[in-house]
Structure 1
């Protein structure tokens, strides 16, 4: 199947990155979000991304202008769906929101349309029946800072058509990603199966007052030679995403983490890099200081 028209549902941090990378790769992309205010913010995110691509990818102004010209924006779900060959869902990690969206898309999208979820924590089989087309539904998961961390984890269900799976593998290559096929469903895929336990351990250390974020990050960075620690990573992921992930786990210690994030960060508008402040202040977080590890 030749994919030409792509719709990205959700224009947050990663949704914007996904849409821009696909547009940069030459596809026509419709960006959907729930209202005009969210779409204005999305357009700002896209312009900010051009700076990142120019700095990190050495692309030309013409290439960036072409990428921006491939993007259109709408808050009308029917408009967003009607011509789509592929719809990528990148809305918050709230199960009920995703189920409601897929039930609407099942009615609005053409029969040809493939649905892909970028969910970080749920399984595609959690939503397959709600899509109305389980054979054309799978997970397509991207890492944050998609232009640098160009992984595409691809995970179907037992009902996913193998040809659809291979179509998405090819699509991932065509947008500059390295396809990483999973042979069975795994909550968290490969990346988050490794990463989420690290981040939760760091959050546990913080909320239980064992150490502050800088000390925890410093420990990890010195011991592993990693370029940033778990709280630097959480700022990239976005603290709203970290909050939703903590809520989804439903254990008492995870509820404690969620409450801590809400009271100390989200309620103050400190969402991580996207807001300019999270555990660190940007664009110059202290973990980049030359003396941080001393």
Structure 2
């Protein structure tokens, strides 16, 4: 597959970010949305981002202009797809909406076009099967914001051709990103399968132990080596994103997630985190505020149950041949910013202790039963 022309469907934060990243790597990009006003806004943001890079001397003024000129905003779908080699779909995470978009695309797209979805949790196989080319359909999950985040998850569907996986890995590298392949189309892929259940588990840990959010977050940051606390990270991501991902993942696999009612409650109350001014924490103003966490506060909470949760999901990915330890560590480093490998942290706690903790929880809820891979590491 030779890729020269890319069409990005959807011009929101992810869409215009992917368009910019692709144009910066020399591709000709068509950015498509349903209304001109959305495209105008997206092009303004791309221009602002490129101007910022020019002011920081990461690009010359000439390079900035050249990159910008490689992105063409188009409303008409047929026009947007007429010479497209790779279409990257970035419409909202609603399965019915995605299916509707692909039905329209299928009628006007050239035979040569490969389909890619930037979905973060919806099953690639299910979307692919609504199109006329499931063997030429793949998941390319960029992380937010695409301009800064290095990780891209590559997810083949059940019918995706092997060569397309290799071509997609090469494409991801060509836009200066690091690919991680999720070898099976499992709910949440790699990063969200580890991150989303952990938010719920942290809420359960609060119930079980009476620990404060700050104590749990301090332990996650200073003992589990996350870049920030888990509640902090949830607020930063957005409760709308977490809730939707929870519903999708849980509806497809009850084993992946043990939903805590607090997440849905915050979502229903429009307490979406940083973007709405309140989530787990309260915020004031536009700037992202860091919560006051410390190593001293971290000593008040033992995060072994949280570690057990994320390890159990990592082990599930390994047992079910969706990933391997090296790829999981790479995904956690680049996608979640972990400052120390997960399995190294596990060694410090002792795998025996972690498995024992999971077994204790499993007495009341089978969800916590330790994965055979974890047991094998004891």
Q: TM-score, normalised by structure 2?
A: 0.65
Is the Cα contact below 8 Å between 2:203 and 2:260 reproduced in 1? no
Is the Cα contact below 8 Å between 2:239 and 2:263 reproduced in 1? no
CA–CA separation in structure 1 for the residues paired with 2:184 and 2:80: 31
Q: Indicate the SS of the match to 1:6.
A: strand
1:16 corresponds to which residue?
Answer: 16
Whether 1:182 and 2:182 are equivalent positions in the alignment is: yes
Larger Rg: 2
Is the Cα contact below 8 Å between 2:4 and 2:27 reproduced in 1? yes
Equivalent of residue 286 in structure 1, options 283, 286, 290 = 290
Is the Cα contact below 8 Å between 1:4 and 1:28 reproduced in 2? yes
1:265 corresponds to which residue?
Answer: 271
CA–CA separation in structure 1 for the residues paired with 2:274 and 2:78: 31
Is the Cα contact below 8 Å between 2:11 and 2:33 reproduced in 1? yes
CA–CA separation in structure 2 for the residues paired with 1:265 and 1:161: 42
1:30-69 to 2 correspondence within 5 Å? 30-50=30-50, 53=53, 58-69=58-69
CA–CA separation in structure 2 for the residues paired with 1:46 and 1:14: 11
Is the Cα contact below 8 Å between 1:17 and 1:49 reproduced in 2? no
Q: Residue 73 of structure 1: CA displacement?
A: 1.5
Greater Cα shift, 196-205 or 30-39: 196-205
CA–CA separation in structure 1 for the residues paired with 2:125 and 2:61: 42
Is the Cα contact below 8 Å between 1:206 and 1:212 reproduced in 2? yes
Q: TM-score, normalised by structure 1?
A: 0.82
Is the Cα contact below 8 Å between 1:7 and 1:87 reproduced in 2? yes
CA–CA separation in structure 2 for the residues paired with 1:54 and 1:230: 35
CA–CA separation in structure 2 for the residues paired with 1:212 and 1:61: 50
Is the Cα contact below 8 Å between 2:196 and 2:245 reproduced in 1? no
Give the alignment's Cα RMSD to 1 decimal: 3.3
Is the Cα contact below 8 Å between 2:203 and 2:262 reproduced in 1? no
CA–CA separation in structure 2 for the residues paired with 1:36 and 1:152: 29
1:145 corresponds to which residue?
Answer: 145
Q: Residue 205 of structure 1: CA displacement?
A: 6.8
Is the Cα contact below 8 Å between 1:136 and 1:160 reproduced in 2? yes
Shift of the 215–174 alpha-carbon distance from structure 1 to 2, 3 Å rule, reads same
Is the Cα contact below 8 Å between 1:3 and 1:85 reproduced in 2? yes
Segments of 5+ residues of structure 1 without an aligned counterpart are none
Q: Indicate the SS of the match to 2:26.
A: coil
Is the Cα contact below 8 Å between 1:123 and 1:185 reproduced in 2? yes
